[in-house]
Amino acid sequence: MSELAARPLVVLSDVHLSEMSGFGTGRDLSRLIQSHPGYEVVLAGDVFDFSLDPPKSDPAVSVRRLLERHPELCAALRGHLGTGGRTTLIAGNHDAAAGEPRVREAILASLGLASRSPLSISPWFVRRGRVHIEHGHVYDPDNAPVHPLAPWSVDREPLGVALTRRFLAPTRAFSFAHEREATPLSALLRAFRLYGARAPIMVARYFAAASVLWLRAGRRGSSSADSRIELERFAAQSGIDAELLRLLLHGCPSPTHLSRSATFFRLYFDRVLATLALTGGAAAALTTGSVPAAALSALGGAYLAVSVVRAPSRYGGGQTERRLRDAAHRVALATGAELVILGHSHREDAGPHYLNSGSFGFPERRGRPFIVVGVDGRAERHTLERTG
């Protein structure tokens, strides 16, 4: 490569540590850090599962409590940073608040380290030589922020994160947390299998939360002037021209939660209404012989059939993987990166100038995946044996 990184890198993503879980993951991450002295450790998004906290939680308090529950990881980070080992966190969709300065201060305070310690946190991406590393959620409409450099706010969270915070976490319905291929019908049937008599309550709580999110959809939040200022500042930090950053942003999809109609369809409210028309119309037609009711039932059934045939799941079918693959190609082409590393999808993937690290916390295989990048930019996949 024409540009060399200052030191070799260890890159991993989607650790998803929380106060309630991920203890085996934390221990494994500590082993990985300890076994790579002298490397820069790049944690490429969703290191912390802040989205499991209640809406009014302070992320600085959350990260201190979380680190208290993972003492082995604290010891590994303390040792790595204390001996000059560079560590970089990149904010993801579930830990977007990590970009707040107070979170960095809280992490260092928990580790007993000074503010000059080589810990850096990026709200969007980092460049090491001609290697480009980011989480990748900005290319996924359901999890994309209003702007990758906008200050974090719970009121502006993307749809996927908001659903996690306002439904999955309060109900502890974590078996649905990483389901992307599920259709509304399969999810409903699974809810009855898992929760039995409680299933109607769970379904009602889901639609209550979803309705609130639909009513809140469309709020943009930060001003374009604020975004321009942050863009200029980030351009200076990243070494990428501000106009080039604008070009990258122009290629990002519009977040689902900025459109009330997009949110309506993404939450399958149209299929809910079609199902109600189908069943309600059929019941009325059978009991009263109403022709309009029969027509309403037929119309609802036809809409439902066409909708399901066109797209059984509006988030599955490899859509996220394709979006990230295409985005990596655009980033490489626009910025001259020879390698783009993303995470977010929880699935290892590869393409020209592209690697997806997969999920360290929820690996597809037996081992936990990570990527090692030499100073020459050559990347190799590795796995760490799981201990928990």
- Give 214's pLDDT tier (boundaries 50, 70, 90): very high
Q: How confident is the model at residue 177 (pLDDT cuts 50, 70, 90)?
A: low
Report which of 272, 282, 298, 295 is spatially closest to residue 211, judged by C-alpha positions: 272
Per-domain boundaries in the chain: 9-153+223-259+317-384, 269-313
- pLDDT of 112 reads 95
Task: Specify the CATH class of 9-153+223-259+317-384 in words.
Answer: alpha beta
The widest CA-to-CA distance across the chain, in whole angstroms, is 81
Q: Is the pTM of this model over 0.75?
A: yes
Per-residue pLDDT at 176 exceeds 60 = no
Dist CA 117 CA 4 (whole Å)? 23
Asked if 132 and 335 count as a contact pair (C-beta separation under 8 A), the reply is: yes
- For residue 319, report the phi and psi dihedrals to the nearest 5 degrees: -60, -45
Q: At residue 134, does pLDDT exceed 80?
A: yes
Strand order in the sheet with 339-342: 125-128, 131-134, 339-342, 354-357, 348-351
Listing DSSP states for 322-381 in one string gives: HHHHHHHHHHHHHH--SEEEE-SSSSEEEETTEEEE--SSS-SSSSEEEEEE-TTS-EEE
Element (H, E) at 134: strand 131-134
Q: Measured between alpha carbons, how far is 119 from 41 in angstroms, rounded to an integer?
A: 10
Average pLDDT estimate for 363-383: 93
Q: Is 2 exposed, middle or buried (0-12, 13-18, 19+ CB in 10 A)?
A: exposed
- Residue 2: which pLDDT band, with cuts at 50, 70 and 90? very low
Q: How confident is the model at residue 179 (pLDDT cuts 50, 70, 90)?
A: low
Whether the pLDDT of residue 49 is over 60: the answer is yes
Least confident of 46-50, 113-117, 237-241: 237-241
Residue with tokens 């394709």: 322
**Straight-line distance from the first to the last Cα atom of the chain, in angstroms, rounded to the nearest whole number:** 38
Task: Look at residue 186 in the predicted model and tell me its pLDDT.
Answer: 61
pLDDT of residue 298 exceeding 90, the answer is: yes
pLDDT at 266 exceeding the cut of 60: yes
- Polymer length of the chain: 388
Which two three-digit tokens encode residue 11?
A: 């890159």
Pair 37, 80: CB distance under 8 Å: yes
Model pLDDT, residue 357? 95
- Residue at token pair 């991993």: 12
Supply 247's token pair: 């070009």
Q: What is the pLDDT of residue 1?
A: 39
Tokens of 142: 């359901």
Residue whose C-alpha is closest to residue 76's, from 115, 24, 27: 27
Q: How confident is the model at residue 178 (pLDDT cuts 50, 70, 90)?
A: low
Per-residue confidence band for 204, with pLDDT thresholds at 50, 70 and 90: confident
Is the model's pLDDT at 173 over the cut of 70?
no
Is the pLDDT at 193 greater than 80, yes or no? no
Task: Give the mean model confidence (pLDDT) for residues 101-126.
Answer: 95
Q: Which pLDDT score, from 0 to 100, does residue 170 have?
A: 81
Average pLDDT over residues 171-177: 62
Mean pLDDT for the chain overall: 89
- Do the strands 348-351 and 354-357 form a parallel or antiparallel pair, or are they unpaired? antiparallel
Task: Specify the amino acid at residue 12.
Answer: L
